Each structure stands twice: as structure tokens, then as C-alpha cells.
Structure 1
Amino acid sequence: MINVAEIGGCTIIRLDRPAKANALTEAMLIGIAQAVAAARTPVLILTGEGKVFSAGADLEEMKSGLGLSPAWEAASGAVAAYPGLTIAALNGTLAGGAMGVALACDLRVAVPAAQFFYPVMRLGYRPQPSDPARLAALVGPSRAKLILLAGQRIDAETALAWGLIDRICPNEALTDTAMSLAEQALAADPGHVAALKRMTTGEAP
């Protein structure tokens, strides 16, 4: 359910469970963390198969405790700690717990039909610990509360205006757009990429 390939100097991690809208299982979360840990390229791209990036958590596994699994933070933490440029190429809607890995990326590009929502208030779950702060860092505290507490579903244009995503592109250009954003990082020394990334988060280069 997780496919990994190296293309053009990028590691591409693809969610591959389209029949279930790429709903995340514990095994998939573990697979993401392992794939990120194993990657050695200066750029990592996270995307999905089908028309939805991910509908969030697998509801059957949520009934048996998936919401409390450390695998969520392990996956998003691995993405956040990756020393290279990380890009979420969102092939469709991003929902629920799947927000975590996308929020942990450095950049996010999405197709026009993508929608964004995190229905923890309605469903009675809590977001993963790192997600609210990462969301607020991108869109601001009030807009983060609109998504988390007011349960607002936003479209791609709104997500772009709020800073949740960085580009909107046609479906057929999604991979090309992500790859174009990766060009300079791919041409640079990996240590330089890592140093600049640390500086954007206030760390020493």
C-alpha cells in the first residue's frame, strides 16, 4: 500500500490504496516512516494514487485504537526531520490524520479539485500532537481553529490564499510541478540544502 521509487534524483513515496481513498492504516504509516528513513536523495516527494490523496485514518482500524498509535507521529516526524527538500504532491483531497505528513513537508502542491478538512471535532477524536502547531504555523491560529474547531472544509483556492498549499496545478501537471520545484535542490550539494532548510526553521546552519 506504499510504493517507493527513485525518479530523477527524487525519492517518490506514493500512497497506493485508491479503492479505500488511500485511508491510512498503521502498516501504511509505518511504511511511510521506514521509506523516509531509508531515502538518501536531496528531494522527497509524497503523493497518492487515484483521485484522493488520503481520506485520513482507516475507520475500521480507528475502532481498534489506531488514533492513539505512535505510528502517526513517527511518520510525520520522519518527514519533518528529513534533511532534504520535501514536497507533498496532493493528487486530491487531504483529510483528517493524513494532514500530518503533508503539514510536515516543506512545500505542498495540489490539484484544483482538492479539498482540505480535519473532522476531529465532529468525530470526537483528537488531532495528532504535532498537527495543530504545524497547521497554525502555515495558516495562522484563527484559521487553524476554523479547520479544527469549526470543522470547516476549504477548497484549493482558499488553501492557497491561506498558505496551506503553495501551488495549484492541473492534474496532469502535478508531478512535473513538484519536480520543477525540486530542480535547484537537486542541482545543489545536499549539505547546502540541509543547511538552508535548518535556517528556515531558526536552527543554526
Structure 2
Amino acid sequence: MSDDLKVERSGAVATLTLDRPESRNAISLEMYRDLPGILRGIDDDSRVKVLVVRGAGTKAFAAGADISEFREVRGDAESARSYNEQVAAAEQALEGMSKPTVAMVHGYCVGGGCGLALACDLRFCDTSAKFAITPAKLGLVYSLESTRRLVDLVGPAQAKWILFSGRRMDAQHALRTGLADEAAETEELAEHTYGFAELVATRAQFSVRASKDIVRRIVAGQRREDAETTELRNSSFDTDDYAEGVRAFLEKRQPEFTWS
């Protein structure tokens, strides 16, 4: 595993840290290559219920892809295609996780860093956060999948504003458009983010993951129940967590869910 990617676990919450503070956590090709395997391991770990993705320090989530590598890893069309495939695989792996994911965004969240944040379920930022997607400043074209994630969050007009201009969007603008979900002061962001993650970890995980799956289906265009969604809903009644939830409600206590 890349030395620039660190995974830690505290209780049911795992943290994946982009750990290159000297370059504002710029994402190298090696990091992109390693992400799918790392994320698969976190998703397969029954002890983990929520993943927080962050950058090291409080200056940046990630300032983008590591541009210093571009001549080597994106010097021509063939190498660029290979590079783009690695980026897409990393973002798909993050978006495709069965467990909830929260991007904790301090400071700069630009380019490839914003791409990873968009692939998370939620984005919590500090009040100094700066979001930008900058292909128009580099002569590049943003992928359809990444653009789709952006449009899903902010709508087509705001997506065009972001992509056409390449301008930075501050935390308040990000909140207004839906790019960010919640904001807190810099010194309070970690407590705010992990408080939410730990709350989600106490909920019935069958319900949480089923909700994530159903929302994904709706975003992809599904509008009516099918056999899979009907079975998903009906099968919840057979889980121990459903029985525990009902008992806890009747006994006026907090439930202790065990499904993982």
C-alpha cells in the first residue's frame, strides 16, 4: 500500500487519510492505483460501519492530482488513457462501497481531490473550504461519470458554472448548491464529522446500506419497485435488528443493533 494512504479504525468508524501534507495532499498515480484494493478491504471489514475520507492536516483535503507527474504519466494519449482508467477505478470503488462514506474537507478540495469527495455519500467541510474542478484551466475534459456525480449534486446549470469557469467555490456557495452538506469551523470539523459518523454507526446497518442502495438506484433512473427492491424491503422484517428495534421502542430504550 502507498505510504501516502493511511487507514485507521476507531470503533466502528474507519478513516482513510490522503497523507501528503507537503503537497496539500495531491493525489499521485500510485495512490489512485492503490485505492480500489484499500477500499475493498474496508468494505469487507465487518468491524467497520462508516468510512471518513480526509486529507492530512487542516490546509487541504486534496489540492488535486499530482501535476508534477503529468509529463511522465500523461505525456501522450496512450498513457493518458491508462491514467484516466486508474482515476475512474478509484472513484468507482469509493462510490460503489456498500457502507456510508463521508468526505471531511478542510481547506482546498480541487480537481482530483474534488472528484474523490464527489464519490463519497456526504461532504462535511470547514468554513475555509475552497472547492474547484479545473479541467478548463488545463485543457482537459472531465469524464462523463465524474460530471454525472457533479450534476446529480448541484444540477446542470451549476455544474456548467463550475466546469466552464474553473473558479473556486467557497463553503457557503458549496452549501447553497448542494456540493457540501454541512459546514463547521475548522477546529470543530473533526468533532462534527466523527460525531455524525458515530451516530450512523449506531443505526441499523441493514437499513443504512439498503437506503444507500435504493438512493443509488433512484439516481440511476429507477422509479418503480422491482423484485430486488421489494425483496430488500421485505427481508428487513426477518432481521434480528428489526426485532431489536421494535423491542427497544416498546421498552423506551436505545436499540443495540448487531447486523454487520
For this pair of structures, how many residues does the alignment match? 205
1:73 corresponds, among 88, 97, 111, to 88
Q: Which residue of 1 aligns with 2:54?
A: 47
1:6 corresponds, among 6, 9, 15, to 9
Q: Which residue of 1 aligns with 2:193?
A: 178
Q: Which residue of 1 aligns with 2:207?
A: 192
Letter in 1 for 2:30: A
TM-score, normalized by length of structure 2? 0.75
Q: Which protein is bigger by CA-based radius of gyration?
A: 2
Letter in 2 for 1:60: S
1:179 is displaced (CA, Å) by 1.6
Counterpart mapping for 1:108-127 below 5 A: 108-127=123-142
Counterpart mapping for 1:90-101 below 5 A: 90-101=105-116
Q: Which residue of 2 aligns with 1:26?
A: 29
> How far apart, CA to CA, are the structure 1 residues paired with 2:111 and 2:35?
17
1:7 is displaced (CA, Å) by 1.3
TM-score, normalized by length of structure 1? 0.94
Q: Secondary structure at the match of 1:182?
A: helix
Counterpart mapping for 1:55-66 below 5 A: 55-66=63-74
RMSD of the TM alignment (CA)? 1.5
> How far apart, CA to CA, are the structure 2 residues paired with 1:10 and 1:31?
20
Bigger drift between 133-142 and 28-37 goes to: 28-37
Q: Which residue of 1 aligns with 2:169?
A: 154
| Structure 1, unaligned runs of 5 or more | none
Q: Secondary structure at the match of 1:13?
A: strand
1:84 is displaced (CA, Å) by 1.0
Q: Secondary structure at the match of 1:5?
A: strand
> How far apart, CA to CA, are the structure 2 residues paired with 1:126 and 1:97?
12
Q: Does the Cα contact within 8 Å between 1:159 and 1:165 map onto a contact in 2?
A: yes
Q: Which residue of 2 aligns with 1:36?
A: 39
CA deviation map 1:161-186 (0-9, x unaligned)? 11000111122222221122223431
> How far apart, CA to CA, are the structure 1 residues paired with 2:143 and 2:8?
28
1:28 is displaced (CA, Å) by 1.1
Q: Does the Cα contact within 8 Å between 1:97 and 1:128 map onto a contact in 2?
A: no
Identity over aligned pairs, percent: 32
Q: Secondary structure at the match of 1:113?
A: coil
Q: Which residue of 1 aligns with 2:250?
A: none
Q: Which structure carries more helix by proportion? A: 2
Quick one: higher RCO (CA 8 Å, sep 6+), 1 or 2? Answer: 1
